[in-house]
Amino acid sequence: MAISGASGTIYGIRLLEAIHANPDIEVHLVMSAWAKENLAIENTGYVESQVNALADHVYDPRNMGAAIASGSFHHDGMVIVPSSMKTIAAIATGMGDSLIGRAADVTLKERRPLLIVPRESPFNQIHLENMLKLSRMGVEIIPPIPAFYNNPQTIDALINHNTMKLLDHLHIDNSLSPRWQGLAQAKMAAREAKNHE
């Protein structure tokens, strides 16, 4: 798992928390220098040591000799959350000049799952073309777009919903957020939410 320098470090933290709760899953974590800067300013309630404690192995983003920099390192998938446009561009062009870019590159070449959570708005044509290129290579692009059919009442509920989607795409069972149960259920939930106002 990688946390890059885009805004939204809480998305990465929440995914780490959810996976950390499952002792059968081993997590290897890389945080870019700018991810660490964002962590300090985004008021997540976490400091770097607490985030690192949620992973089994933590790597310096400049350590190109790390285990995860080799295709011979076996893993079930990689997720970059959030992902900056710089990170996406580096992966799309094969520029493995950081451990995040290199780990993503070997994930692609070994044809393992790669999930990217882009955090930028609006997207320009370069951003879109880079994401389309990666999507055509099988990368799953999962932007943190909120859903409102489950009547979220807090920011945490919105974050949990996106985290649920990431866990689903990593094939990790979870019940982190309410799922779509059909129109009748959605209408009933909306009525209950309105009654609580």
Q: Give the amino acid at 74.
A: H
- Which has the closest alpha carbon to 142: 59, 79, 184? 79
The tokens for 74 are 């076996």
Residue 12 labelled as part of a binding site: no
Residue 98 labelled as part of a binding site: no
Residue 133 labelled as part of a binding site: no
Residue 131 labelled as part of a binding site: no
The tokens for 137 are 């290579």
Residue 4 labelled as part of a binding site: no
Residue 7 labelled as part of a binding site: yes
Which of the 8 DSSP states describes residue 42? Answer: T
Residue 119 labelled as part of a binding site: yes
Q: Give the amino acid at 142.
A: I
Neighbours of 168 (CB within 10 A): 14
As annotated, the binding site for dimethylallyl phosphate includes 149, 165
Query: Residues within the annotated binding site?
Result: 5-7, 32, 84-87, 119, 149, 165
| Binding residue numbers for FMN | 5-7, 32, 84-87, 119
